[in-house]
Amino acid sequence: MQREFDLFVIGAGSGGVRAARFSAQHGARVAIAEDRYLGGTCVNVGCVPKKLFVYASHFHADMEEAIRGYGWSVGETSFDWPTLIENKNQEIARLNGIYEGLLQNAGVHQIDGRAVIVDPHTVEVAGRRYTADHILVATGGWPTVPEIPGRELGITSNETFFLEALPKKAIIVGGGYIAVEFACIFDGLGVDVTQLYRGPLFLRGFDDDARTHLAEQIRARGVDLRFEVNVTSIEKREEGVRATLTDGTTLDADLILFATGRHPNSANLGLEEAGVELAPDGSIVVDAWSRTNVSSIWAIGDVTNRINLTPVAVHEGVCLSETLFGAGPMSPDHDDVPAAVFSQPQVGTVGLTETEARARYGDVAVYRSTFRALKHTLTGGPERTMMKLIVDRASERVVGLHMVGHEAGEIVQGFAVAIKAGATKAQFDATIGIHPTSAEEFVTMRMPVDH
């Protein structure tokens, strides 16, 4: 039976667009449907605008350090939130256009509207049905807000990028990377920030030394960081909101941001009706090649809840296109995926945490260094950098690398190549450092720490 398309992609985020483009370039007839905006979360309300906000929030500290330690005199300064929002919107619009151009140039048929799966080979958008040999679900994730009284008075990261005015006082609820990043962004822009997390230490899943060190650094910046406390209810006040906490106290603020996790965006897509298996958290269950239990339906990206990072979704999209229309089956590689938290200071990480390494290898050597970066020696600033290597003693391979410090993301990206290539501690030691840099510390640590 001849169907209209070889591949129908639901969701034009980073993963869906990459899968659609590459499949079309392999000669497949491809359609893609999107009901919101091209580029998905990352381009519109995620990685890209978030990083722009991080840059904006860092300038105040940079100016202070220039004055305090480096002889600069700076006149009266002020920050205008609407200008940042307007410029950010222009950049996102530019990127949306680029995504549209990429799809058009690849010959992908674009459809505006919400797509729903009718059966294993049929998708419906705005009353029109399309048939395809394969259907790919790449619908990403969506913010989760806890079911508490007054929850509608809070916002999520989605709305934060379009606030009309910068709050004077903000409460951020959550302990993941989104919560941490926005706590630092608001703090850097002069907002009085309180961050609440229900657990004993934020950034669950990251290395414990990195988590502990970052908490110390964020508190030193002035963020009121509170662990083992949560919000039980919110009420509207004459000005702003009042949050009641699990310890019985209350907090008043202009804004409360829920960064309490994201859930797979899998509801109301017709998946259950088509027989697609979903996990209890709503994620789509897939095999090593991103195929669901329905042979013609596939899924990639955050909706599968494997590793929820944009470059991973892009990688999965490439593998999917190769599997269906390229050289042959290609399964995504989820080992040694580097990641960064754009907190202030940043966290960069690749490989195993110390806890994971001990569980997998047993006997490991840990190298750790904490120091004041050269930039801060003239300013007397409190920020300190932490670097850590974890080595499997049996093979001498470096199996984990973690950093908290300035530009950790940029530094760890390069070292991720070494980790992926299986570099040993001896090879790290044999590498000449670039002096004076913080990064050279990774190749000069000689003595393991005692545990």
Residue that is written with structure tokens 């003595």 in the block:
447
272 and 374 share one domain: no
Average pLDDT over residues 181-192: 98
pLDDT at residue 450, rounded to an integer: 75
Would 174 be classed as within a structural domain? Answer: yes
| Average of per-residue pLDDT values in the chain | 97
Point out the catalytic residue in the list 60, 121, 435, 451.
Answer: 435
Are 202 and 175 in contact, with CB atoms under 8 Å apart? yes
256 and 267 share one domain: no
pLDDT at residue 260, rounded to an integer: 97
298: burial class by Cβ within 10 Å (0-12, 13-18, 19+)?
A: buried
pLDDT at residue 451, rounded to an integer: 61
Per-residue pLDDT tens for 392-419?
999 999 999 999 999 999 999 999 999 9
74 — pLDDT class (breaks 50, 70, 90)? confident
The total number of residues shown for the chain amounts to 451
255 and 270 share one domain: no
294 and 396 share one domain: no
435 is catalytic: yes
Per-residue pLDDT tens for 207-249?
999 999 999 999 999 999 999 999 999 999 999 999 999 999 9
365 and 311 share one domain: no
pLDDT at residue 436, rounded to an integer: 97
430 and 353 share one domain: yes
Which residues, in sequence order, are CB contacts of 64 under 8 Å at separation 6+? 379
Would 67 be classed as within a structural domain? Answer: no
Would 421 be classed as within a structural domain? Answer: yes
pLDDT at residue 447, rounded to an integer: 95
Distances (CA, A) of 402 to 168, 214, 306, 371: 34, 12, 21, 14
Last residue of a domain, one of 325, 357, 379: 325
346 and 198 share one domain: no
Would 387 be classed as within a structural domain? Answer: yes
Grouping H, G, I as helix, E, B as strand and the rest as coil, residue 91 is helix
Average pLDDT over residues 178-185: 98
37 and 134 share one domain: yes
Which one-letter DSSP state was computed for residue 153?
G
Would 127 be classed as within a structural domain? Answer: yes
Would 332 be classed as within a structural domain? Answer: no
178 and 297 share one domain: no
254 and 268 share one domain: no
User: Going edge to edge, which strands form the sheet with 346-351?
Assistant: 339-341, 346-351, 398-405, 385-392, 364-371
pLDDT at residue 1, rounded to an integer: 76
Domain that holds residue 182: 151-260
Per-residue pLDDT tens for 339-391?
999 999 999 999 999 999 999 999 999 999 999 999 999 998 899 999 999 99
10/112 Cα distance (integer angstroms) = 11
Q: What is the CATH number of the domain that holds 226?
A: 3.50.50.60
71/149 Cα distance (integer angstroms) = 52
DSSP H/E element including 134: strand 128-137
278 — pLDDT class (breaks 50, 70, 90)? very high
pLDDT of residue 203 exceeding 80, the answer is yes
Average pLDDT over residues 275-304: 98
In angstroms and rounded to an integer, the radius of gyration of the C-alpha atoms of the chain is 24
214 and 280 share one domain: no
Q: What is the DSSP string of 252-308?
A: EESEEEE---EEE--TTSSTTTTT--B-TTSPBP--TTSB-SSTTEEE-GGGG-SS-
pLDDT of residue 154 exceeding 80, the answer is yes
